[in-house]
Structure formats: structure tokens, C-alpha cells
Amino acid sequence: MLLTWLLACPLIGMLVVLALPKTAVRAIRAAALLATGFALLLSLELLIAYQPAAAGMQFVERAPWIPPLRIFYHLGVDGISLPLVILTALLGFLACIASYSIAERHKEYFALYLLLEVGMLGTFLALDLFLFYIFWELVLVPMYFLIGIWGGGRREYSAFKFFVYTLAGSLAMLLAILALYFRAHTFDLLELAAAGRTFELGFQQLLFLGFFLGFAVKVPIFPFHTWLPDAHVDAPTPGSVLLAGVLLKMGGYGFFRIAYPICPAAAMGFGGAMACLGVINIVYGAFVAMAQTDFKRLVAYSSVSHMGFVLLGLASLTPEGLQGAMFQMVSHGVVTGAMFLLVGVLYDRTHTRELSAFGGLGARVPVYAGFLIFFSLASLGLPGLSGFIGEFLSLVGAFGVWRWQTVVSLLGIVAAAAYMLQVIQQVLLGPLNERWRELPDMTLREGLSLAPLLLVTLGLGVLPLALLEVQDGALQRLIAHVVGAR
């Protein structure tokens, strides 16, 4: 029942928030914080009880849900989903802390926020394709509202764009799901994975294409990425954190959990294309990021670049590559989540995100500067911090398989240094801009929401084995499954 409780935490929280009067802002916040906090505790409990050595899914729960279609309420975690579940719970909690800066319509906000968390957790927990799809779409609606109501800038446009892009992608995925169901007559992911190997190549390719479109929009893969900068920029800070930290991972996770196991032959066939797309993501994202003048937009494009490594590692289908891809997802979630929090901290004070409007803040807000430098370095892949491990493993894995793609993607590593240092330069260095003479440094609350991420980033960078060991078994089995299908 652990997994159900994990899902129930935010759900109950949402109901409590809905039951509270609109004016009881403190109680609403406390309820949300408690709900996400409990979810985080439960996810840690999950980590403790998880047995890396055991094969297959753990904590499995299975109950009939829609018997006529053989749809089950089927949850479980393995080494692929567990890190993402914990990541979600962690970011959900921290972004909830950051949500204290939300100024209006608290009740609606926190209700939607908690619903969002239910969807995100459910996506990673579901082992039934239908259930997965439900959770997948469930994420969409609250996020649409979060951007549209509490966002800034062209929020309506961005919310809409996010919604339509993602939904259009999901519809392609839906068609694939349906085709799959009417072929295999089951939604069970494990059964589907077994059945998928027997499908003829043409059918697998069609399926893969459908899933690809769905996941590509979320990851996002060039050229389906243009919703991302808009949505990230205009979302409220917690929304951006979850968008970058969790929602993008849903796409990557989809490849791991669905597209690759179910269409193994197609996945192998499309490996080259995936690797090329990964490289395009890496280099293109890095180049475009360099030209951005808006802080948040820059971080958004850096996400595009970083998620390219996930693709590259995935395309390699080697143990290192997959480990790297998974690690990169977790690391990117933590680091970029923190980056967005940092942008939010600055924006709350200055109400601008134009990089050229800052300058010399390093002397004025040293604590903030320390955090920003730290996470920028993690983002540009400095060894010793988590970003490096993911990138390195992806590259190692991909090098033997996709030589030239890997070499070209090194360009992205150099460019990452260029744009991240550009940020530091424009925000922190140089003479202090007189406008910010009175700028206050980070508050304790802001520091508390960032400190855990800092520790995780550092911890994963120094002791990557902690995470790699959790993932190892499941990834090995995935490779055996996919490669063995040839």
C-alpha cells in the first residue's frame, strides 16, 4: 500500500485544501506543505525499503479497475522509476516551499499544485498503460492553469501553447496505445513488453513513432521544443521548477518504460536517428541559449541542451549510456530545478529577468552568488557535481556506438561553459548596477528550499554509485530485453 499512500498524500492534501475556506491562507499553505512533505517522507521510505538486487517490480499493487477493457490499477517501482519518484517528491516539496511567494488565489493554486503532484507521481508509478496515460494527461491540466493564472508575461499564450503541444503529442501516443491494445489486448506494461518483441518490425515502427511523438514533445526533442522556453519563462517559479524538473523527465521516462521495451526492434532501428536528435538538442540548445537575453529563457534552452544527453545515452543502448541517461535526468531535474528557483529569487526582488539589467550582484548578495555559481557549475557539467556524471556516462556509452554524434556533442560541453559563465558574468560580476544597491540577500526560506538540492547535487556528484546502483539492475534487464529482441 506504500505506493497508494504515496499517491494519496497529495490527493488528500488537495481535498483538505478544497475544504478549507478561501481566506485561511496559512492553513492552506500548511496543508499543502504537509501533504508534499509526507509524500517526500514516503518516497524516502520507498528508497530505504527498495532492494536493488531483486529483479522485477517492487511494491507492486494490482487491482482491477476497468474490467471490460482489462485495465488495472497497477502500480510498482523499479530502478528506473524509483529515482524519478523521489525526485518528484523532493521537487514537489521544495517547490511547495517556494510557492509561498504566490500572492493570490491561494486555494485554487495549492489544490491544482497538489493535483499536479498526483499526476506526476502517478506517471512514474503506473504499470498499466492506460493508467499511465491518465496520469500523463492529468499533469497537463493543472499545469495549464498554473501557467495561465499565476504566470507572468504572455502567460495565456504560453499556457495554451504548452497545452496544445503536449496534447497533440499525447494524441499520437494515444493512437499508439490503442493500436497496441487492439493487437495485444492488454494494457499491462510488463505483458506488453513481452508481447512487443513478437510484433513485426513495421508495426513496431509505427508504434514507436506514435510514442516518440508523445514523448518527444515532453522531453522536448528538436523541433518540438518551442513550447518549452515560452512555458518555462511565463510559468510561476514553482511551475518552472516542476516543468523542468519533472515534466521533462516524463518524456524520457516514457522512452525507458514504454517505447523501448515495447518496440525493441524499432528502438534499435531508430537508434541512429535518436542519437542525431540528441546531438542536435545538445548543440542547438547550447547555441540558442547563448543568444538569450532573458535569464529564464536561457535556462530553458539549457534544458533542451541537457536533455539531449538523455537521448544520446538512450540511443546507445549500452549499460553506461542508459545509466548516464537516467542519471542525467535526475541530475538535470535537481540542477535545473534549482536554477529556476534561483531565477525566481532574483525575479521576486527585481521584477526583471533581463540579464543585462543586473551586474555586480556578487558583492551585494554573496549567499545568492554562491548558490548561483554552484548550480551554474553543476549545469555546465563540472566534475564533482552531478551534471558531470550523467553527461560523462552518456558520452562513454554513446562513444562506441555513435562515434561522430558523440564527438560533435562535445561542442555542446564547451558551449555550455560559455553560456553559463555568461550568466554568471552578467548577473554577478562587473561593477554593481546602482539600481540594486539595496538588494536583500536570500531569506532563510529560500535558502532552505535550495540547500537540499545543493546537497543532492554534490552528493550525487561525489558518490554517484548511490544512484547508479539503484538503477543498475533494471537497466541491465532493459538492455537484455531490447538487444535480445533482435
Touching another protein, residues 389-428 (CB under 8 A): 389, 392-393, 395-396, 399-400, 406-407, 410-411, 413-414, 417-418, 421-422, 425, 428
Identity (one letter) of the amino acid at 307?
Answer: M
92 CB contacts (<8 Å, ≥6 apart)?
Answer: 10, 36, 39, 40, 117, 120, 121, 242, 246
Cell numbers 541517461 correspond to: 325
Using alpha carbons only, give the angle 271, 476, 248 rounded to the nearest 5 degrees.
Answer: 55
> Which one of 77-85, 242-250, 343-351, 379-387 is the stretch in contact with another protein (CB under 8 A)?
379-387
Shortest distance, CB of residue 217 to another protein, whole angstroms?
10
Binding flag, residue 15, another protein (CB under 8 A): no
Distances (CA, A) of 242 to 18, 114, 194, 227, 334: 22, 12, 33, 15, 10
Binding flag, residue 292, another protein (CB under 8 A): yes
Q: 74 to 133, contacts with another protein by CB under 8 A?
A: 108, 133
Among 19, 48, 63, 67, which residue sits at the site for another protein (rule: CB under 8 A)?
Answer: 67
Q: 192 to 251, contacts with another protein by CB under 8 A?
A: 222-226
Site size with another protein, rule: CB under 8 A: 87
Identity (one letter) of the amino acid at 432?
Answer: L
Beta pairing partners, 61:
75
- How many angstroms separate the first and last alpha carbons of the chain? 38
Query: What's the CA gap between 87 and 82, in Å, rounded?
Result: 8
Instruction: Return the axis-axis angle of helices 295-316 and 403-427, rounded to nearest 10°.
Output: 160
Query: What's the CA gap between 320 and 192, in Å, rounded?
Result: 26
If the CB atoms of residues 76 and 390 are measured against another protein, the closer one turns out to be 390
Q: 248 to 287, contacts with another protein by CB under 8 A?
A: 284, 287
Binding flag, residue 370, another protein (CB under 8 A): yes
Contact indicator for 373, 420 with CB cutoff of 8 Å: no
> Which one of 147-155, 197-205, 255-263, 439-447 is the stretch in contact with another protein (CB under 8 A)?
147-155
Binding flag, residue 137, another protein (CB under 8 A): yes
Binding flag, residue 134, another protein (CB under 8 A): yes
Query: What's the CA gap between 99 and 348, in Å, rounded?
Result: 12
If the CB atoms of residues 93 and 224 are measured against another protein, the closer one turns out to be 224
Shortest distance, CB of residue 395 to another protein, whole angstroms?
6
Residue 50 main-chain phi, psi, to 5 deg: -70, 140
**Would you tell me how many other CB atoms lie within 10 Å of the CB of residue 441?**
15
Binding flag, residue 429, another protein (CB under 8 A): yes
Among 55, 455, 469, 483, which residue sits at the site for another protein (rule: CB under 8 A)?
Answer: 469
Shortest distance, CB of residue 37 to another protein, whole angstroms?
26
If the CB atoms of residues 384 and 484 are measured against another protein, the closer one turns out to be 384
Among 1, 63, 68, 486, which residue sits at the site for another protein (rule: CB under 8 A)?
Answer: 68
Beta pairing partners, 75:
61, 126
Among 49, 54, 55, 171, which residue sits at the site for another protein (rule: CB under 8 A)?
Answer: 171
> Which one of 66-74, 90-98, 235-243, 251-259 is the stretch in contact with another protein (CB under 8 A)?
66-74
Closest CA to 290 of 153, 425, 433: 425
Binding flag, residue 372, another protein (CB under 8 A): no
Binding flag, residue 165, another protein (CB under 8 A): yes
Binding flag, residue 172, another protein (CB under 8 A): yes
Residue 59 main-chain phi, psi, to 5 deg: 55, 35
Among 472, 473, 475, 482, which residue sits at the site for another protein (rule: CB under 8 A)?
Answer: 472
Shortest distance, CB of residue 420 to another protein, whole angstroms?
10
Among 2, 175, 194, 195, which residue sits at the site for another protein (rule: CB under 8 A)?
Answer: 175
> Which one of 6-14, 334-342, 349-357, 384-392 is the stretch in contact with another protein (CB under 8 A)?
384-392
Using alpha carbons only, give the angle 423, 343, 41 rounded to the nearest 5 degrees.
Answer: 125
If the CB atoms of residues 66 and 201 are measured against another protein, the closer one turns out to be 66
Whether the CA torsion 124, 453, 440, 420 is positive or negative: it is: negative
DSSP-based three-state secondary structure for 75: strand
Binding flag, residue 313, another protein (CB under 8 A): no
Binding flag, residue 4, another protein (CB under 8 A): no
Identity (one letter) of the amino acid at 171?
Answer: L
Shortest distance, CB of residue 226 to another protein, whole angstroms?
4
Interstrand relation of 58-66 and 71-77 (parallel, antiparallel or unpaired): antiparallel
